[in-house]
Structure 1
Amino acid sequence: MLVSRETEERFAAFVELLARWRRATNLISESTFPHVWTRHIADSAQLLALSQGATRWLDMGSGAGFPGLIVAIQLADVAGAVVHCVDSDRRRCAFLREAARATRAPAVIHPVRIESLAPNDVGAVDCVTARAFAPLLKTLEFAKPWLETGAVGLFPRGRSAVKEPDREPAPPHYAIETIRSVIDAEAAILRVRKS
């Protein structure tokens, strides 16, 4: 994955903040921090290429900013770009606000549960994301207001993604495409569209 020098510097600033905040706010597990560049940054960054030019995003359950804040960092120099990061934990939201400020990422932080966020609170979006958030059907239920109005859903589902649509079929009005992760050959991303 090639990024500009400016984006690389923003990613580095994000990782530095994550290193300082992670213990106090339980952002990511200690065991994954040594692999933060591949397991979290690159894994999240690959979504931008799958979004077909999306500049307005909604990330459900943003946690430590994966993938929402990483996508926002990538869009920092794109006019009109915005990523709405939604998380109910106020400590994580404090981290997200500080990380967005430090990296000059176009992110708006919503410290609420996704089910209490009205579509009017964020407006139209091009892409909805969620990583390690909820089972597929629940994720689709929460994303429905935006998927129904034309947004594409990009849901990294890890190594279980390949079989997940078979185990938990989506409603018939959604088309689901399984895309192999470029970071982990055994993991996949589900791209969902209203059919």
Structure 2
Amino acid sequence: MTKDKYFDSLKQIYPSVSRETADDLIGFETLFKKWSKAINLASPNTLETLWERHILDSVQLFKLAPQAKQWLDLGSGGGFPGVVLAILLKETGGSIRLVESNSKKSAFLRNALAQFQTHGQVVNARIESCYQQIQVPEIITARALASLDKLFELTEPWMTKGAKALFQKGRDYQREIDESLLNWKFDLVRHGSAIEADSVILEISNLQRR
């Protein structure tokens, strides 16, 4: 795919994206593929659709809260959406913290954040140990990390103090919502995914235990 095609596909998801940001995101795709050979960030099959299924899928989160300056990504893994958001946040002066318990993946994340000169920070720790260390963010993200009910348990200390969540979920999302309603009350807005027809982004605020 040519750079122009990369840029055009990005603009379809986030129309105001700059050429400089597009170049960084293309560079991140290259970096991810390089590191993935060494530390198995993703299966070989995943690499074939990395741009569409992972990078563009992460970009669409940003357009839901472009004014937010303080973000937190949990279970960042290979950098989706954390590193992608960090690159996008360069345009607005925002910052993001990436929480990842795996040391090798944390090393990759630090390398990526530094290479693209982002205002991001990696916290190599379990989420449960970070509540005192990380101040309440404006937006919390987590991708393919846990069920919605479990995500609420993990994010409760931040969300009950005003943080909003943008959680990406697949086709089974309604079941997860129904199960979580047994234990939690919250405001919910569903956003259809621009990448996967049967997936959604759940925008959640005002979380409370029942």
The TM-score with structure 1 as length reference comes to: 0.93
Alpha-carbon contact 2:149-2:179 (below 8 Å) kept: no
Structure having the higher Rg: 2
Q: Does 1:158 align with 2:165?
A: no
AA partner of residue 116 (structure 1): S
Instruction: Quote the Cα distance in structure 2 between the aligned partners of 1:105 and 1:153.
Output: 22
Instruction: Quote the Cα distance in structure 1 between the aligned partners of 2:188 and 2:98.
Output: 23
Q: Does 1:32 align with 2:46?
A: yes
Q: Which has the bigger relative contact order, CA under 8 A and spacing at least 6? A: 1
SS in 2 for 1:179: strand
* 1:167 to 1:124, Cα distance in 2 relative to 1, 3 A: closer
Alpha-carbon contact 1:161-1:189 (below 8 Å) kept: no
* 1:170 to 1:49, Cα distance in 2 relative to 1, 3 A: farther
* 1:141 to 1:103, Cα distance in 2 relative to 1, 3 A: same
Structure 1 position 171, deviation (Å): 3.9
Q: Does 1:106 align with 2:116?
A: no
Structure 1 runs not aligned, ≥5 long = none
Structure 2 runs not aligned, ≥5 long = 1-12
Alpha-carbon contact 2:75-2:145 (below 8 Å) kept: yes
1:96 aligned residue (109, 114, 134): 109
Q: Could you say which residue in structure 1 is the equivalent of 2:198?
A: 186
Root mean square deviation of aligned Cα: 1.5
Q: Does 1:115 align with 2:128?
A: yes
Instruction: Quote the Cα distance in structure 2 between the aligned partners of 1:78 and 1:16.
Output: 24
Segment of structure 1 superposing worse, 81-90 or 44-53: 44-53
Q: Could you say which residue in structure 1 is the equivalent of 2:149?
A: 137
Number of residues paired by the alignment?
A: 193
SS in 1 for 2:36: helix
Q: Could you say which residue in structure 2 is the equivalent of 1:53?
A: 67
- 1:85-135 deviation per Cα after TM superposition (whole angstroms, max 9, x unaligned): 0000000000000101111121100000101112x4222310011000011
Q: Could you say which residue in structure 1 is the equivalent of 2:6?
A: none
- 1:142-164 deviation per Cα after TM superposition (whole angstroms, max 9, x unaligned): 11111111111000012222442
Q: Could you say which residue in structure 2 is the equivalent of 1:71?
A: 85
- 1:18-70 deviation per Cα after TM superposition (whole angstroms, max 9, x unaligned): 01101221212211111111100010110111126211011110001111111
SS in 2 for 1:59: strand
Instruction: Quote the Cα distance in structure 2 between the aligned partners of 1:17 and 1:52.
Output: 25
SS in 1 for 2:191: strand
* 1:31 to 1:48, Cα distance in 2 relative to 1, 3 A: same
AA partner of residue 111 (structure 2): E
* 1:105 to 1:164, Cα distance in 2 relative to 1, 3 A: same
Q: Does 1:13 align with 2:31?
A: no
Q: 1:160-175 counterparts in 2 under 5 A?
A: 160-169=172-181, 171-175=183-187
Instruction: Quote the Cα distance in structure 2 between the aligned partners of 1:194 and 1:30.
Output: 40
Alpha-carbon contact 1:56-1:82 (below 8 Å) kept: yes
